[in-house]
Amino acid sequence: MGQIDLIDISKSYDKQKNVLDEINLSIEEGEFFVLVGPSGSGKSTLLRMIAGLEDITSGTLKISDKIVNHLPPKDRNLSMVFQNYALYPHLSVEQNILFGLGAKKVNKKEQQKRLAETAEMMGLSELLNRKPKELSGGQKQRVALARSVVSEAPLCLMDEPLSNLDAKLRAQMRIEIRRLQKRLGLTMVYVTHDQVEAMTMGDRIMVLNDGKIQQVGKPITLYNEPENLFVASFIGSPKMNMGKAVYSMNQNQLVIEDTLRIAQGPDMDDIPGNIDLTVGIRAEHLLPGTAENTTHHLEAVNVEQLGNETLIAFDVGSTLWMAKWLGQWDVQVGEMVPVHIDSGNFCFFDSNTGLLIKSANFVKEQEVVSI
Amino acid sequence: MTIPITRKIIFYLLLIISSMLVFSPTLMAFVMSFMTNQDIMTGSLPSSLTLDNYVKAFNQFPLLKYLFNSLVVSIVIMLGQLILSSLAAYAFVFLEFKGRDLLFYVFIATMMVPFEASIIPNFHIIRDLGWIDTYPGLTVPFFAMAFGTFLLRQNFKQIPKELREASQIAGMGDFKFYLTVVLPVARTSLVTLGVYGFLTSWNMYLWPLLSTTNDSVRTVQIGLKQLQTQEQLNDWGVIMAGAIIVVIPTLILLFLGQSKLQKGLTEGALK
């Protein structure tokens, strides 16, 4: 029994197509829970249903074991941060922060106490008399956060709060929000379309697509053992390299995209040979080949130098595969580059159902060693 | 932007000429209000300037009483319009109910019906209520205003709906949200609408003429008409003096509110 329980929650606007389809989910107290998915997947709708801003078409929503389906937002004891911050343009920062407390009839002395604490914590003490339009994006974001902190609601909902900020500020705010959540012991439900944000901030992540739950779990689990093709391609940057594979038992080879031939290893024993397969391999497992272990030569079609690592796109049949190599590699476009591919690094998916057959087991062993 | 000097000269010349054309009646009225009747009738330039016409205008007619009536009527209409329009606009933007948009379009469609068309039914209602020669009779028929509702609705629509949602979560009701957020944020448009409403009602002629029968509540525009006589020769100097006095509040409001008025009326036109 968590703090928020969603039982068979569905939502439809036109009574025909479900925007959200039978969502079952339990969010624990003090957890940083991230809802992630492409736009139109229904993640914001789900959040707004928890907030009480959207009606629930069917199913039960419980907050702290109380059914709240028909409770107005103000009685759900939560706070929310919006994408565009939703600051009142005519009020000063101080008035903005205290706006909600006035409506909840918190007495003046308590208000001032909370204001002072929050402003101190968020570094807003100097800005209390400014209007929102005199603030930078990051400062506005902090005011919006302060407004939700000052309400002292145990549950905080955030709807893509960082998407209006530039990349640098976003990285900084990510850390700040995470710290704040831990410090105050808030239960956080956080919506984003950015999988990097999801990976770095969430205690648990739920991947949503087309109104259906794709997978719920710890970030690292989603990365290592994606339950289906969607999660595999959505989580991770650059995304997992995918290819159609034909498994030819008699030749003891796996043929990927009609170009790559992989010798059968012990890892492939339990893969059924009679179905359409899709294999996936992470960019960091497409290793540079040395004189001893080179398995293939691939044509480089694009090279991105990031300084600390090099991203190389290889031509594999009809698709491009990205490799991420540590350090700086002097690779020319058009060059045939030696690479090392270990069959243990492959994830196997059923092409028809999209479901995972077998994850890359090599990864896990490596992880255990490196920890 | 830089414009060649010759073209600039032509532009300014044209502007000066057209502004003279537009402004000349007002200017003439202004000058005539200081002229003696003799000068006006002979059509000569003023031989001497005098304030007699103004003194006469105030003595001959209860001009102050008319001005006061006009002020009361205009302010009441302005406030009534602001309150009703903003409440209606709020409902059309922030409250969700079935047929809201349809209702709005029907409402807007009434803008196409001129007031003159509904003047007879309105008159009947006022008469049956016994509101002839009263302030309510002069003002209430103008409270509901499709244009004002339209203007404010467009303005309210620019308020992000997240503001409403944020205040919902904070536990704020509709009315409090309307008072503490919507009205202050839409201040400019409210001022615009207020000035517009005030000026329109200040210049109203037909309705006050119909719904008043004596001087007790009669407005200044009717009073002005009374300065003209049908039997005798018109005393143009006095009439012009009266007209100038009547125009002054309008001008003051226009000068003060000009920038805001323009901003408000064109708001939402761009974007």
Which H or E run includes B224?
A: helix B220-227
Q: Is the pLDDT of residue B135 over 50?
A: yes
Co-location of A253 and A210 in the same domain: no
CB A63 within 8 A of CB A155: yes
Q: How many degrees, rounded to 5, is the angle at CA B259 between CA B254 and CA B260?
A: 90
A268 is a domain residue:
yes
Co-location of A216 and A254 in the same domain: no
Alpha carbons B45 and B200: distance in angstroms, whole number: 34
pLDDT, residue A245, reads: 86
CB B80 within 8 A of CB B140: yes
Inter-chain contacts counted by CB atoms under 8 A, chains A and B: 59
Contact check, Cβ <8 Å, A100/B165: no
Cα B76 to chain center, whole Å? 12
pLDDT, residue B36, reads: 81
Q: Tell me which chain B residues have a C-beta less than 8 angstroms from the C-beta of A84.
A: 160, 162
Q: How many degrees, rounded to 5, is the angle at CA B163 between CA B162 and CA B168?
A: 90
C-alpha pair distances (Å), A123 with each of A22, A90, A147: 42, 22, 13
C-alpha pair distances (Å), B235 with each of A320, B32, B44, B49, B223: 94, 11, 16, 16, 14
pLDDT band at B258 (very low <50, low <70, confident <90, very high): confident
Q: Which of B161, B165, B167, B169 to mutate to test the interface with A (most CBs of A within 10 A)?
A: B169
Calculate how close chain A gets to B170, using CA atoms only, in Å: 5
A370 is a domain residue:
no
pLDDT tens by residue, B50-72? 888 888 888 877 888 888 999 99
* Phi and psi torsions of A55, nearest 5°: -75, 150
Per-residue pLDDT of chain A (371 residues), as tens digits, is 458 999 999 998 887 788 888 899 999 999 999 999 998 888 999 999 999 999 899 999 999 889 999 999 988 889 999 988 889 988 999 999 998 888 778 888 999 999 998 888 888 889 999 999 889 888 998 899 899 889 888 899 999 988 888 888 888 889 989 998 998 899 999 999 988 899 999 999 999 998 899 999 999 999 989 999 999 999 988 889 998 888 776 667 788 888 888 877 776 777 777 788 888 999 998 888 888 888 888 999 999 999 999 999 998 888 899 999 999 999 899 989 999 988 888 888 998 888 988 888 754 555 554 44
- The residue-averaged pLDDT of B14-43 equals 86
What is the DSSP secondary-structure string of B55-109?
Answer: HHHHHHS-HHHHHHHHHHHHHHHHHHHHHHHHHHHHHHHH---TTHHHHHHHHHH
Q: Which of A74, A81, A147 to mutate to test the interface with B (most CBs of B within 10 A)?
A: A74
C-alpha pair distances (Å), B149 with each of A116, A290, A295, B267, B268: 42, 75, 74, 14, 14
Alpha carbons B104 and B51: distance in angstroms, whole number: 53
- The residue-averaged pLDDT of B242-269 equals 73
Alpha carbons A43 and A23: distance in angstroms, whole number: 11
Alpha carbons A251 and A247: distance in angstroms, whole number: 9
pLDDT, residue A369, reads: 47
pLDDT tens by residue, B163-213? 999 999 888 889 999 999 999 988 888 988 998 899 899 988 889 888 888
Alpha carbons A242 and A280: distance in angstroms, whole number: 4
Co-location of A139 and A20 in the same domain: yes
Number of folded domains in chain A? 2
Alpha carbons A362 and A359: distance in angstroms, whole number: 9
Alpha carbons A160 and A85: distance in angstroms, whole number: 10
A163 is a domain residue:
yes
End-of-domain residue from the set A207, A229, A251: A229
Co-location of A147 and A295 in the same domain: no
pLDDT band at B268 (very low <50, low <70, confident <90, very high): very low
Calculate how close chain B gets to A47, using CA atoms only, in Å: 13
DSSP state of B230: S
CB A145 within 8 A of CB A123: no
- Structure token digits, residue A276: 């359409």
Calculate how close chain A gets to B156, using CA atoms only, in Å: 13
Q: Tell me which chain A residues have a C-beta less than 8 angstroms from the C-beta of B187.
A: 90
Co-location of A294 and A184 in the same domain: no
pLDDT, residue A371, reads: 43
pLDDT, residue A260, reads: 81
A175 is a domain residue:
yes
Q: Which of B40, B141, B150, B52 is nearest to B93 (CA)?
A: B150
A212 is a domain residue:
yes
- Structure token digits, residue A101: 């407390």
CB B73 within 8 A of CB B133: no
CB A18 within 8 A of CB A55: no
Query: DSSP 3-state assignment of B44?
Result: coil
Q: Is the pLDDT of residue B82 over 90?
A: yes
Co-location of A223 and A274 in the same domain: no
Alpha carbons A53 and A71: distance in angstroms, whole number: 10
Co-location of A258 and A211 in the same domain: no
Contact check, Cβ <8 Å, A151/B162: no
A304 is a domain residue:
yes
Contact check, Cβ <8 Å, A104/B170: yes
pTM, rounded to two decimals: 0.79
Alpha carbons A97 and A149: distance in angstroms, whole number: 9
- Structure token digits, residue B124: 């009947």
Alpha carbons A27 and A22: distance in angstroms, whole number: 16
**Which residues are A26's β-sheet partners?**
A5
A125 is a domain residue:
yes
Q: Tell me which chain A residues have a C-beta less than 8 angstroms from the C-beta of B176.
A: 103
pLDDT tens by residue, A262-285? 877 776 777 777 788 888 999 998
Q: Which residue of B has its CA nearest to A98?
A: B170
Co-location of A70 and A187 in the same domain: yes
The parent domain of residue A293 ranges over: 238-365
DSSP state of B205: -
End-of-domain residue from the set A229, A264, A291: A229
Alpha carbons A176 and A337: distance in angstroms, whole number: 42
CB nearest to A86's CB, from B160, B184, B185: B160
CA dihedral A218, A224, A228, A229 (to 10 degrees): 130
Co-location of A269 and A131 in the same domain: no
Q: Which residue of B has its CA nearest to A151?
A: B170
Query: What CATH number is given to the structural domain containing A17?
Result: 3.40.50.300
Contact check, Cβ <8 Å, A74/B168: yes
Contact check, Cβ <8 Å, B181/A88: yes
Q: Which of B3, B60, B78 is nearest to B242 (CA)?
A: B60
Contact check, Cβ <8 Å, A78/B169: yes
* Phi and psi torsions of A14, nearest 5°: -110, 10
Question: Which stretches of chain A sit within 8 Å of chain B by CB?
Answer: 51-53, 72-75, 78-80, 82-84, 86, 88-90, 99-100, 103-104, 147, 151
Co-location of A105 and A184 in the same domain: yes
Strand A356-358, strand A319-326: pairing:
unpaired
Calculate how close chain A gets to B271, using CA atoms only, in Å: 19
Calculate how close chain A gets to B186, using CA atoms only, in Å: 10
- Burial status of residue A157 (CB atoms within 10 A of its CB: 0-12, 13-18, 19 or more): buried
Q: Tell me which chain B residues have a C-beta less than 8 angstroms from the C-beta of A103.
A: 167, 170-172, 176
Q: Is the pLDDT of residue B43 over 70?
A: yes
Alpha carbons A74 and B168: distance in angstroms, whole number: 6
Q: Tell me which chain A residues have a C-beta less than 8 angstroms from the C-beta of B162.
A: 82-84, 86
Co-location of A121 and A66 in the same domain: yes
End-of-domain residue from the set A229, A257, A287: A229
pLDDT band at B41 (very low <50, low <70, confident <90, very high): confident
Can you tell me the ipTM of this complex? 0.80
A371 is a domain residue:
no
pLDDT band at B77 (very low <50, low <70, confident <90, very high): very high
Co-location of A139 and A214 in the same domain: yes
Calculate how close chain A gets to B165, using CA atoms only, in Å: 7
- Structure token digits, residue B181: 């957020």
The per-residue b/e assignment along A220-229, b for 16 or more CB within 10 angstroms, e otherwise, is ebbbbbbbbb
3-state secondary structure chain A: CCCEEEEEEEECCCCCCCCEEEEEEEECCCCEEEEECCCCCCHHHHHHHHHCCCCCCEEEEEECCEECCCCCHHHHCEEEECCCCCCCCCCCHHHHHHHHHHHCCCCHHHHHHHHHHHHHHHCCHHHCCCCHHHCCHHHHHHHHHHHHHHCCCCEEEEECCCCCCCHHHHHHHHHHHHHHHHHHCCEEEEEECCHHHHHHHCCEEEEEECCEEEEEECHHHHHHCCCEHHHHHHCCCCCCEEEEEEEECCCCEEEECCCEEEECCHHHCCCCCCCCEEEEECHHHCEECCCCCCCEEEEEEEEEECCCEEEEEEEECCEEEEEEEECCCCCCCCCEEEEECCHHHCEEEECCCCEEEECCHHHHHHHHHHC
Cα B35 to chain center, whole Å? 30
pLDDT band at B266 (very low <50, low <70, confident <90, very high): low
Q: Which residue of A has its CA nearest to B163?
A: A86
Query: What CATH number is given to the structural domain containing A272?
Result: 2.40.50.140
pLDDT, residue A367, reads: 52
